[in-house]
Amino acid sequence: MSTQPKPSNPLKAVRGTRDLLPPETALWNRIEQTARQVFSRYGFGEIRTPIFEATELFARGVGEETDIVSKEMYSWEDRARAQSEKAQSLTLRPENTAGVVRAYIEHKLGETGDLQKLYYIGPQFRRERPQRGRYRQFWQIGVEVLGPVSSGSESPVRDAEVLEMLATLLDELGVKNWRLELNSVGSTEDRKRYDAALRAALAPVKAQMCEDNQRRAETNPLRVLDSKEPADQEIINALPKIADFLDDSSREHFAAVRAALDACGVPYTVNPRLVRGLDYYTRTTFEFTVPSSSDPASGLGTQNALLGGGRYDGLSEMLGGPKAPGIGFAIGEDRLVLTLQAQAEAAAKAADESSAGAPGLASQTWVQIPKLDAYIAPMGAERNAAALALARELRRAGLSVEVGDGTFRLKKSFEAADKVARHIVILGEDELATNTATVKTFATGEQVKVARGQLGELLRAKG
């Protein structure tokens, strides 16, 4: 039997992946532009690492026992193409921190002695069960601050600065009702003692828990704290708290982060169960959420974590590099888009329902593309070339222009122009002969004939 798809059965994007189309991509661009602007005000530079890396990087960096590495990676054996090449297991990156730290080590960035402040924007890949807000290819906007201890990379100032920057970014993007949840998971040694205490506390009760939690209790008891399994919550809430296992320096570090946030006026809630899904975290861990499924304005349903991050003081060494404490986060861009869309829709609805609603809110839709300055309508196919030449002139002068087709009837040209542009420029025999153009401004209904030299000025005028 043929495996060729039938023509009547067109191919679709792979499950868990999707196409982003205009006008929605305008919102993605706006988010990315705002992020770039905010990050540059805090002294960050962009890093771009490859989309695939050696599988070992994630196994060592993210942790073999994490859900990501144990079941969600897209990995394949890359065949050797030449004798000089070795067959190698490669993986589409499921996150970007390990790649950034690999690059930090590879390019010996630590030898500069400077604190590295890096950001990235790009796709990540995890074979998760797709649902709203959870995809197999998704985008992250992330930041990493790392460097040798002498660069101040361990300082609680860095943690607080990153959190304050996130609060500023979310405010500038217009995200409403965000919540910062904060915790400290202590040093690697604190974690070892806590791990032992958790194992001891879980031993007598784990048989009553769901299958996943029974497995986690054996392999990585910290992960049990992440569990959302309703039936297990009572047991989980009664487990020892990591705060009671922090040594003095981790405790002081956490207190200093909180004091700096208080000084900046950034609100937060300490959540003792926030341990995050990746193994490399030490000390500060955090998540920003928006109201969950009970509030439709979040747009995220049960996936209410907009972003997550934390400190990873031992990661560089885990990857064979020098000591390079660091802190970072990754924003789920897909979820940010869903949240902004849902919040804009909710605000527009509220404004429509109440006559006293804030003026202008309803028009603050996130998916509107601004209208072009002009639509050029050639009258007759023989004027198409002249229309394109005029469009070139205007576009090169910085105007946004669409060109119609000379075979269109005048009515069709007007309808097409009204959809996409603020003005229609009619180019007929007479206009070409006299070096003029007839321009109609849709907002006012005004129609004038102007000399070609004045066309740019007229089209630039808002109307």
**Under the rule (CB under 6 A), what is the footprint of ligand AMP?**
95, 126, 128, 133-135, 138, 140, 277, 305-308, 330, 332, 334-335
Cα→Cα distances 282→57, 226, 342, 407, Å: 19, 16, 34, 67
Between 278 and 459, CB nearer to ligand AMP: 278
The least distance separating ligand AMP from the CB of residue 63, rounded to whole angstroms, comes to 12
The least distance separating ligand AMP from the CB of residue 336, rounded to whole angstroms, comes to 8
The least distance separating ligand AMP from the CB of residue 175, rounded to whole angstroms, comes to 12
The least distance separating ligand AMP from the CB of residue 232, rounded to whole angstroms, comes to 21
The least distance separating ligand AMP from the CB of residue 277, rounded to whole angstroms, comes to 5
The least distance separating ligand AMP from the CB of residue 309, rounded to whole angstroms, comes to 7
The least distance separating ligand AMP from the CB of residue 303, rounded to whole angstroms, comes to 7
The answer to whether residues 308 and 286 touch, using CB atoms and an 8 Å cutoff, is yes
Q: Coil, helix or strand for 333?
A: helix
CA-nearest of 383, 390, 72, 65 to 219 is 65
- Across the strands, what pairs with 426? 377, 438
Between 35 and 307, CB nearer to ligand AMP: 307
Between 275 and 458, CB nearer to ligand AMP: 275
**Structural tokens at position 165:** 């920057």
The least distance separating ligand AMP from the CB of residue 355, rounded to whole angstroms, comes to 37
Between 78 and 181, CB nearer to ligand AMP: 181
Residue nearest ligand AMP (C-beta atom)? 332
In SS3 terms, 277-297 reads as CCCCCEEEEEEEECCCCCCHH
Q: Which segments of 248-360 does DSSP mark as H helices, in order?
A: 248-264, 315-318, 333-353
The least distance separating ligand AMP from the CB of residue 70, rounded to whole angstroms, comes to 14
**Structural tokens at position 238:** 């009664």
The least distance separating ligand AMP from the CB of residue 153, rounded to whole angstroms, comes to 20
The answer to whether residues 23 and 337 touch, using CB atoms and an 8 Å cutoff, is no
Between 135 and 245, CB nearer to ligand AMP: 135
The Cα diameter of the chain in Å comes to 94
Whole-angstrom distance, CA of residue 283 vs CA of residue 155: 11
Between 63 and 148, CB nearer to ligand AMP: 63
**191-197: long-range pairs with CB below 8 Å, 24+:** 191/222, 191/242, 191/282, 193/245, 194/222, 194/240, 194/242, 194/245, 195/221, 195/222, 197/240, 197/245
CA-nearest of 330, 316, 267 to 121 is 330
Between 126 and 422, CB nearer to ligand AMP: 126
Would strands 179-184 and 45-46 be described as parallel, antiparallel, or unpaired?
A: unpaired
Between 226 and 418, CB nearer to ligand AMP: 226
Q: In the block, which residue shows the tokens 């500060």?
A: 284
Would strands 179-184 and 269-270 be described as parallel, antiparallel, or unpaired?
A: parallel
The least distance separating ligand AMP from the CB of residue 306, rounded to whole angstroms, comes to 5
The least distance separating ligand AMP from the CB of residue 138, rounded to whole angstroms, comes to 3
Q: In the block, which residue shows the tokens 């988010």?
A: 31
Neighbours of 436 (CB within 10 A): 19
Between 206 and 276, CB nearer to ligand AMP: 276
The answer to whether residues 135 and 16 touch, using CB atoms and an 8 Å cutoff, is yes
Would strands 372-378 and 421-427 be described as parallel, antiparallel, or unpaired?
A: parallel
Between 308 and 321, CB nearer to ligand AMP: 308
Between 49 and 436, CB nearer to ligand AMP: 49
The answer to whether residues 271 and 183 touch, using CB atoms and an 8 Å cutoff, is yes
Between 136 and 383, CB nearer to ligand AMP: 136
